[in-house]
Amino acid sequence: MKRIFLVKDDLSLIGGLSFALEKQGYETDIARTALEAEQNWQNKTYDLIILDVRQSLYSLSKLRFK
């Protein structure tokens, strides 16, 4: 199963997107902050990461992709 990671501070938007993706057969994980995002993907591998580029560019720029 393909795994998608969603990083967005708007919980209602990300919840709806997650629901729609899961109905299509994707597995999703959600993070609302850059810190949550970094903690999540330290232990998991994702096929796609969708993030809000306007969400605290400073904190998102500190994230380290593997």
Pick the CATH number of 3-54 from 1.10.3720.10, 3.30.70.100, 3.40.50.12160, 3.40.50.2300: 3.40.50.2300
36: its two tokens: 């949550």
| Cβ contact 2:46 at 8 Å | no
Average pLDDT over residues 2-19: 90
pLDDT surpassing 70 at residue 41 = yes
pLDDT surpassing 80 at residue 66 = no
Tell me the whole-structure pTM to 2 decimals. 0.77
| Cβ contact 28:41 at 8 Å | no
Q: What is the pLDDT of residue 50?
A: 87
Element (H, E) at 58: helix 57-61
Average pLDDT, rounded, for the chain: 82
